[in-house]
Chains A and B, each alone.
Chain A
Amino acid sequence: MPLWSRIWNVFRAERLNRELDEEFHSHIAEAIEQGRDPVEARRAFGSPLRQREVSRDVKLIAWLDSLRADIIFGWRQLMKRKVTSAAAIASLALGIGACAATFRLIDALLLRPLPIANPERLYALFRQGADADGKTRINDSYEYPLFQQMREAVKGHAELIAVSGAARSDLTFGTDQETEKAYNQYVSGRMFRAFGLQPALGRLLHEDDDVTPGEHPYAVLSYDYWTSRFARDPRVIGRTFRMAGHLFEIIGVAPERFTGTEPGTVTGIFLPTMMNEGVGHVDWSWVRVFAMMKPGVTVEPLRDRLRVTYRTFNDERAKAFPNMPRRFIDRFFHQTLLLEPAAAGVSGMQRDYAHSLTALSLLAALVLLIACSNVANLLAAQAAARSREMALRVSIGAGRRRLVQLVLVESLILAFLAAAIGGAFAWWSAPFIVSKINPPDNPVRLFLPADWRMWGFGLALSLTVAHLFGVAPALRASAVRPASALKGGEDPHGRRRIMHALVAVPSGFCVLVLFVAGLLVATFDRLSSQPTGFSSERLVTLDTVAQHPVSMALWDQVKDHLRSLPGVEAVAMAGWPLLDGNGWNGVISVNGEPPTDALAYFLSVSPGWLGAMKIPLLDGRDFQAGEASAATAIVNEAFARRYFSGENPVGKFFETGQQRTRFEVIGLVKDVRYRNMREPITATAYLQFAGQDFNQATFIVRTSSVNPLALAPALRSGVSRARPEFRVSNIRTQLEINQAQTVRERLLAMLALFFALVALLLAGVGLYGVLDYSVLQRRREIGIRMAIGARPAGVAQLVTVEVFRMVLVGAIGGLALGMASTRYIEPLFYQVRPTDLGVLAIPSMTILLVAMLAAVPAVIRAARIDPVEMLRSE
């Protein structure tokens, strides 16, 4: 209670003063009434003001009171200069907001622990090896039988959990015509228990739901999916849906916050691993392996145990490939097994975006630092202007600490106001950025909760920022020597040194931002202007599924029907569209020699596919209808270079696969991009759809319309009309697919450009402020120089030359820093080098240009100084 009343009294200080005064007055009045001499009574009482101070300090918390006074004073100081304060707050807010937004993204994707019990005990297994080019690759998918062996090997020390990647699959709660898509994940039955999760409804999967392949058709919904698809209807338990040839029964709903183990994807349906065909295949790698450590188990011995199992399994597997070169076996099977902490889960998005977010947070931090230096500049100028006020305060007894507090409080007000606005900016911008990461049919969903982590970060950031720009002016203000300050004289060089730093540092940071932004924009530019080798215009792709595998003749029927639709120019089939990320590769041997260790890509295509894609045939011929049984292939130039030493391969043969099927090359085509825009074009062989029946392929339709998606409804219904057992599961334009290749680069380029513009603007404003202020300070000197005959050009040089020198120093520093730091974000770049002349020159030129623009008003102001008037006024 007393503490409360003392805090409370701080906020009713005026009333407290009145009460104390009244009490003292009544004391003296009473004394006089009792017959004492008024003068004597007053003298005996002493100074009421002092009495009041002493009693006040008893009645309230003195430091809180002085803080309150400083806040009010600081607020008044800021309100006195509304425009500059608003500019300072706005630029800080932008910097803080950008930092907070990137922190939100980094936290949500990479740092935030999964909402499970003991996330710190969760580890994930990775395998590390070198690819064909000798580059280190990290891979985290495993064969299910291998997982089973490893699980047995560490039993009692850790619970091993298999989790498939979240896949967006077709499923239906009713008829085939009502097919919809949902993210599903096959998970070990033990997962929920190992994670300590309780059902929100019904029950979760457990060990017994995961024993016999194909025998456990149960599904657990995520809370999110239950909400969006079923509006939290509790009657969902017991409902069934059909997916991948099984009829699943919904048995429960997972707890609200658990959305799977892949940040960036929200799983809708959890299924037992035993329901995935992959459990029986030793050569399908499709599950991630997590290890939930038992308490007290150390990582290294467990990892070594897993390594032994891993090695044995792969030695066994390698025996099936007796003809493989040793190098190939080693590379393929003998990778190093790693056990890494995975408290935040594991996802492809983490891998794809970790570097991007690092780069973005670097840019955001730099923008914030530039804003800080601007505000420091502003405060330093104000501190100089207030040196008389400070001297006065010192003269009447203010302590050094008190002065530091006075000035720091002002900085803190600035920082907190900016943080509030910046927080609102981050609130909006982080989801906005996430919404931009949405390749067709695969939108990213990232939970961005605003909790203590966000608030803590915001608070720490504002405090840091306030001290960054506030401490120097505060110390300077407190170091004032009353005698010299009141006389008006002070060391002018000290101020000049600070000014130099305040020009060079932000210029350097600005150049660094421009430099990194330039690299990112150039990357996007190069990547998006990469030729694909085929024509994407007016092309629609229809990913189509049949209820069960059917013969090529039926697929041809559908194809012919589509061809007859109005607006369709050509129709062909392929296993999947080019560049959609799918790939199929294998080893090649030529002339009966052992296979080389370079893999070639394959793609099944129908006759006419080359024409529909407009891929030029260099030699030989296309496939023809009706020769599907012939083992023929069309290869690209890279294939010819790789396996036929550049000779014309037409009429030659190669073998592939475990059966060493022999193919005759009947055609040679130009190189096209197959899987990815970044990798070099690899050897590719186009094969015909094999003789067996199949249930999945993609129709490639070239339309005559500029907007090919206008035909989508007609094409979709056309497929089902041609054969009722066929259904289109996904329609995309080829352009859409191509653009998805550069989603990340586009986003990065866009944000980097934004940061670059903000950095330039802030640096320009800062330079303007410094120059203008320095002219103001030196107007007496300039007046004298002009009076004795200096020309305007000379004055301009006097004012600007030093600043330009500092900008140049900053620019060089920024570029050096840039070249040193880009090493860490190099994977983001494509065909650009940090040492390219353009990449180096453009930022330097830009900052000099901005400096020149910023100098114009100051130069005009200097040139307009009237020496007579100036000297008279002094």
Chain B
Amino acid sequence: MRKPDSLQGSLDLLVLKILSRRPRLHGYALMMAIQDSSGDVLRAEEGSLYPALHRMEEAGWIRAQWGENEAGRRLRRYEITAAGKKQLEAEESRWLALTAAINRVLRTA
């Protein structure tokens, strides 16, 4: 069954968070990490993941380096930058504020 791709603009947040914990991931590993750590609930499609990665790279939040895996195949691995960490903080607090607000609505209404 296809999981909804509607990460609702929080894809950046997820990518930055995962990269802050586990540096030097390539695109596929990142995709799997999102899937795994969300308990198979969230899933990033390739069609949105790569534009997002390249956009954040141009914005200077993450940087990429070519490396090789054990089998010797070239991979493009991403890691978070200082600017990215700042961005992550901002996104995270924005997210927490948002969810807290939504929770309040759900509780009181």
Complex: A656 Cα to B26 Cα, angstroms: 109
Indicate if A1 sits at the interface (CB-CB under 8 A): yes
Q: Beyond A26-B76, A30-B75, is A55–B54 a contact (Cβ under 8 Å)?
A: yes
Return chain B residues, CB-CB under 8 Å to A180: none
Q: Beyond A2-B58, A58-B51, A59-B58, is A27–B73 a contact (Cβ under 8 Å)?
A: no
Q: By DSSP majority rule, is chain B's interface helix, strand, loop, or mixed?
A: helix
Complex: A118 Cα to B100 Cα, angstroms: 65
Indicate if A476 sits at the interface (CB-CB under 8 A): no
Within 8 A of A (CB), among B27-65: 27-29, 32, 45-47, 50-51, 54-55, 57-60
Return chain B residues, CB-CB under 8 Å to A5: 58
Quick one: closest B residue to A60, CB to CB?
Answer: B58
Asked if A31 and B50 sit within 8 Å, CB to CB, the answer is: no
Indicate if A6 sits at the interface (CB-CB under 8 A): yes
Return chain A residues, CB-CB under 8 Å to B50: 23-24, 51, 54-55
Within 8 A of A (CB), among B67-81: 69, 71, 73-76
Asked if B46 and A44 sit within 8 Å, CB to CB, the answer is: yes
Return chain B residues, CB-CB under 8 Å to A22: 74, 76
Number of A interface residues at 8 Å Cβ cutoff, please give it: 23
Q: Beyond A5-B58, A26-B76, is A51–B47 a contact (Cβ under 8 Å)?
A: yes
Indicate if A46 sits at the interface (CB-CB under 8 A): yes
Nearest CB of chain A from residue B62's CB, rounded to whole Å: 13
Complex: A59 Cα to B58 Cα, angstroms: 7
Query: Which of A27, A29, A44 has the most B CB atoms < 10 Å from its CB?
Result: A27
Q: Beyond A1-B60, A27-B27, A46-B46, is A55–B51 a contact (Cβ under 8 Å)?
A: yes
Return chain B residues, CB-CB under 8 Å to A29: 73
Q: Beyond A5-B58, A34-B28, A55-B54, is A26–B75 a contact (Cβ under 8 Å)?
A: yes
Return chain B residues, CB-CB under 8 Å to A27: 26-28, 46
Nearest CB of chain A from residue B47's CB, rounded to whole Å: 5
Complex: A55 Cα to B54 Cα, angstroms: 6
Q: By DSSP majority rule, is chain A's interface helix, strand, loop, or mixed?
A: helix
Complex: A5 Cα to B46 Cα, angstroms: 24
Indicate if A230 sits at the interface (CB-CB under 8 A): no
Return chain A residues, CB-CB under 8 Å to B58: 2, 5-6, 58-59
Complex: A639 Cα to B45 Cα, angstroms: 107
Complex: A31 Cα to B69 Cα, angstroms: 13
Complex: A464 Cα to B54 Cα, angstroms: 40
Return chain A residues, CB-CB under 8 Å to B55: 58
Return chain A residues, CB-CB under 8 Å to B54: 55, 58-59
Asked if A26 and B46 sit within 8 Å, CB to CB, the answer is: no
Complex: A562 Cα to B73 Cα, angstroms: 104
Return chain A residues, CB-CB under 8 Å to B59: 2
Nearest CB of chain A from residue B97's CB, rounded to whole Å: 28
Asked if B46 and A2 sit within 8 Å, CB to CB, the answer is: no
Quick one: closest A residue to B55, CB to CB?
Answer: A58
Return chain A residues, CB-CB under 8 Å to B46: 27, 44-46, 51
Query: Which of A2, A5, A45, A58 has the most B CB atoms < 10 Å from its CB?
Result: A58
Return chain A residues, CB-CB under 8 Å to B75: 26, 30
Nearest CB of chain B from residue A16's CB, rounded to whole Å: 10
Contact with B along A8-36 (1 / 0, CB 8 A): 00000000000100111011011101100
Nearest CB of chain B from residue A52's CB, rounded to whole Å: 9
Return chain B residues, CB-CB under 8 Å to A31: 28
Complex: A93 Cα to B28 Cα, angstroms: 57
Nearest CB of chain B from residue A688's CB, rounded to whole Å: 95
Q: Beyond A29-B73, A54-B51, A55-B54, is A23–B60 a contact (Cβ under 8 Å)?
A: no
Complex: A44 Cα to B46 Cα, angstroms: 8
Nearest CB of chain A from residue B74's CB, rounded to whole Å: 6
Return chain B residues, CB-CB under 8 Å to A55: 50-51, 54
Return chain B residues, CB-CB under 8 Å to A2: 58-60
Nearest CB of chain A from residue B48's CB, rounded to whole Å: 9
Query: Which of B28, B69, B76 has the most A CB atoms < 10 Å from its CB?
Result: B28
Nearest CB of chain B from residue A600's CB, rounded to whole Å: 87
Nearest CB of chain A from residue B29's CB, rounded to whole Å: 7
Asked if A30 and B74 sit within 8 Å, CB to CB, the answer is: no
- List, sorted by A's number, 23 A–B pairs whose CB atoms are closer than 8 Å: A2-B58, A2-B59, A5-B58, A23-B27, A24-B50, A26-B75, A27-B28, A27-B46, A30-B28, A30-B29, A30-B75, A31-B28, A45-B46, A46-B46, A46-B47, A51-B46, A51-B50, A54-B47, A54-B50, A58-B51, A58-B54, A58-B55, A59-B54
- A-B pairs, 3 with minimum CB distance: A30-B28, A58-B54, A55-B54
Q: A44-B46, A54-B51 are in contact. List 16 more A-B contacts (CB 8 A).
A: A2-B58, A2-B60, A19-B76, A22-B74, A24-B50, A26-B75, A27-B26, A27-B28, A27-B46, A30-B29, A30-B73, A30-B75, A46-B46, A58-B58, A59-B57, A59-B58
